[in-house]
Chain A
Amino acid sequence: MDGHRRLESTDRPPAVGVLFNYHSAVVIANTLKKLSPKMRIELVSSGLDLSENDKRKLDSLEILFTQPNLVQSLKLHLLPNLKWMHCLIAGVDLIVETLKSEKSISSFPVTRNASYFDLQMAEYVIGIILSRERRIADVHENQRNQIWDQEVFRKFRPLTDISIGICGFGSIGKEIARVAKTFGIKVYALVRNLPTEAEQSPTVDEYKSIGELGDLLSSSEYLVSILPCTPSTNGFYDGDVLSMCRRKKTVFINIGRGNAVSESTVIRALNEGWIGHAVLDVFDKEPLPAESPLWSHPGVTITPHISGTHMIPERFVKVALDNYNRFLRGESLLNIVDVNKGY
């Protein structure tokens, strides 16, 4: 869907509004200015309280770079002059719901920073795996006690001996597969539609369709879920699904969204011995409330939604900048959010 209105010919290109959490917004604006000196940038104050001045600015904007949670709360999608909105965040589920419920989706494209955090997330996943397989925590413990125990650590499992099942095979999943293959890990990918031979990636050993989820679960030492938050992924792993991990006591890693599995499912799966461990970076409620039983469960590792949150300014604005140039030239934009798909 490429329904952007043509730009009215004007003497100068439209201003770009930057509405983002404040400290990052300044960095982003400065980076954009540095890389594209002719760009006119309107820094709109962030936060949910907009001054009258801010509102006037927003009303006049044709282009807005922003983040999903602000779209909904500020009703940015209703801005009268908006011709293009770019989300500087990959996870756009909040926007999708808003845009679907309002009929304004056809009036302008919404694009997003898809590829930016992929490699960081792959780093995180491999880091978690290596930390476990090489028992780094135990090594530190031995050092604290000044114990030299070579024999215990000699018997590590090389990554060439393990398999990873990747659920959610978009750009992040593909990056994880690539990095996993670098270490010789066997890769299973869960996909909606099995690719043709020509479409298959050399970094995937076996593609599995949703119906073959059980196969994938029972074959993987590690399961990584990068499923986006959509109605079809709600409770994806709930019920008895994870019992299929029993064979290898799979380690379950969730870096997608918290809706895919409930707390009680995780705890049950651990207590029943279905999964060997759970590494959770995302939750239904974030920050994870102090009273959540996940904090004290020894089979759980908690990371505070940091698998992919590091911003390197020049790289961070790259898609936005590319799209800005395309927009001005009337070319099709990259990474358009498909509200029907949800991402």
Chain B
Amino acid sequence: MIRCVQTEIIKRLFGGKSVNRSTTLKMLSVDPSSSVGASMRKEEGTRPLVGILATFVGSPLEREIADAVQKTRPDIRFEVFVRGKPTISEKEMEDLKSCEILIADPNIIMDHNLANNLPNLKWMHCLWAGVDRFTRSFSPSGPFPSYLLTRNGDFFCIQMAEYVFGYIIDKERHITEMKKLKEQSLWKRLPYRTLSELTLGIVGFGDIGKEIARVAKAFQMNVWALVKSFPKDGEQGPHVDEYRLSSDLPELLAASDYVVSILPSVPSTDGFFDGDILSHCSPKLTTFMNIGRGNVVKDETIIAALDRGWIGGAVLDVFSVEPLPEDSPLWTHPKVIVTPHIAGLCISGSKIAGDFVQNYDRFVKGETLPYTVDWDKGY
């Protein structure tokens, strides 16, 4: 059993009660409302075995998270720390399989085929917001893992909004162009539009979409949101001017100066913007932004839409294949901005720790956890 020095110290400080590892795992349904935690409560005096499987180039994220948790909650003990890259040793594999709770990078889980190979796991908390690689690896009808899966939500949202408005304002206020003018010592005033004159169409209206709408309203933009169903009376958000259903996508596209896709990667969103649908953008020469997933539109569709004068520009953070292959025409198209999947990637160990601790307490009480992934939905 691998123990990090930190864990040893903590064990010594707190009496070193070892966790009962021989607990028989009850096969539980994946109904998120089932009290998975209740089964843990029954084991009085034992604490769940918690592990971290993470990697973050440049900083040992797994240590950061554990430290942050342990600072406020020495009762939550991390027994297992696995870096995840470049390899996972056999011993580390064993340790991971003994975990009952795991904070994990879902991509590493996938890389090592662990999704269905964690027999003791009752709850996995993911580091990222996007878990599609994970969820799409299962057949749509199951079987799904028996453990609860939760993902990160909150702090990604405002970061995604930063990205969206960073690029919108950069474009509208010519910030990049003014740098070039300075290089030529040119005092040249370029006419501009204010965001308050523009319409933003948000496709995919979950937490990230709602946050983007909130910020858009701070700039007095006109906001349209594409939703699965119209909100009931009284449930309409204060930041949306017009709600539309998927069947109304053409209308939303025609109305929008900017369209942002935050659609998750699920079978129903494959090729969502392919075909001729982007032709509806021509009235306003919409700028198409994708910060969701690359499955919704092919590279060729973007190129064609630009060349046909359907869309005026594209700002793309996600692609069907990442890293974007060298030969993709998106790299060099003058109206395309390529960003390497960085819209919401700032990771802070203390933030993840905070989320995790809140969830942990709910978990052991058997309460519902926020951002629980619905296996059927895929997100």
Assess whether B346 is in contact with A156, with CB atoms less than 8 Å apart: yes
| Contact count A vs B, C-beta below 8 Å | 139
Query: Do B185 and A130 have beta carbons less than 8 Å apart?
Result: no
Closest to B342 in A: A153
Contact assessment for A306 and B182 in the assembled complex, using a CB-CB cutoff below 8 Å: no
Chain A 301-315: CB-based contact to B (< 8 A → 1; otherwise 0): 111111001101000
- A146-B331, A153-B342, A304-B189 known; A182 vs B167 contact (CB < 8 Å): no
Counting CB contacts under 8 A, is A179 at the interface?
A: yes
Q: Mark A108-138, 1 if CB is under 8 A from B, else 0.
A: 0000000000011001101110110110110
In the complex, which residues of chain B have a beta carbon less than 8 angstroms from the beta carbon of A154?
Answer: 56-57, 342, 345-347
A211 at interface by CB-CB < 8 Å: no
Q: Is the CB of A155 within 8 A of B175?
A: no
Given known pairs A288-B187, A305-B189, the reply for A143 and B175 (CB within 8 Å) is no
A277 adjacent to chain B (CB < 8 Å): no
Q: How far is the CA of A296 from the CA of B184 in the complex (A)?
A: 9
Residues in B with CB closer than 8 Å to A179 are 218-219
User: Which chain A positions have C-beta within 8 A of B182?
Assistant: 295, 300-302
Within 8 A of A (CB), among B316-374: 322-324, 326, 331-332, 337-342, 345-347
Q: Does A87 contact B (CB under 8 A)?
A: no
For A154, give the chain B residue with the smallest CB separation.
Answer: B345
User: From residue B218, how far is it (CB to closest CB) to chain A in Å?
Assistant: 4
| A182-B176 in contact (CB<8A) | no
Task: Tell whether B44 is near chain A: CB-to-CB under 8 Å.
Answer: no
Asked whether any CB of chain A lies closer than 8 Å to the CB of B72, the reply is no
**B218 engages A149 (CB within 8 Å):** no
Known A-B contacts A137-B179, A151-B58, A182-B215; the reply to A130 vs B162 at CB < 8 A is yes
From known contacts A140-B337, A150-B340, infer whether A126 and B346 are also in contact, taking CB-CB under 8 Å.
no
Q: Does B214 contact A (CB under 8 A)?
A: yes
Residue B158 lies at the interface, judged by CB distance under 8 Å to chain A: yes
Contacts of A106 in B (CB 8 A): none
Q: Does the CB pair A155–B58 fall under 8 Å? A: yes
A128 and B192: CB pair below 8 A? no
Interface string of B175-213 (1 = CB under 8 A from A): 110110110010111111111110000000000000000
Contact status B166-A130, CB under 8 Å: yes
Neighbouring B residues of A286 by C-beta, 8 Å? 187
Is there an interface contact between A183 and B324, defined as CB atoms closer than 8 Å?
no
Instruction: Please report the total number of A residues contacting B with Cβ < 8 Å.
Output: 51
- In the complex, A305 Cα to B189 Cα: how many Å? 8
Q: How far is the CB of B257 from chain A (nearest CB, A)?
A: 14
Whether the pair A183, B341 counts as a contact (CB closer than 8 A) is: no
Residues of B within 8 A of A159 (CB): 158, 162
Identify which of B170, B179, B342 contacts A150 (C-beta below 8 A): B342
Whether the Cβ atoms of A287 and B187 lie closer than 8 Å is yes
CB-based contact A304/B169 at 8 Å: no
* Residue-wise interface mask of B (221-238) relative to A, using a CB-CB cutoff of 8 A (1 in contact, 0 not): 000000000000000000
Q: Does any Cβ of A come within 8 Å of B47's Cβ?
A: no
For B184, the closest partner residue in chain A by CB is A295
The reply to whether A127 and B175 contact each other, CB–CB distance below 8 Å, is yes
List B contacts of A127 (CB < 8 A): 165-166, 169-170, 173, 175
- Interchain CB contact under 8 A, A148 and B340: yes
B163 adjacent to chain A (CB < 8 Å): yes
Asked if A198 is an interface residue, CB under 8 A from chain B, the answer is no
Can you list 17 pairs linking A and B with CB atoms under 8 Å apart?
A: A123-B169, A123-B195, A131-B169, A131-B170, A134-B163, A136-B176, A143-B338, A148-B323, A150-B342, A158-B162, A182-B218, A287-B187, A302-B181, A304-B178, A306-B173, A309-B189, A310-B191
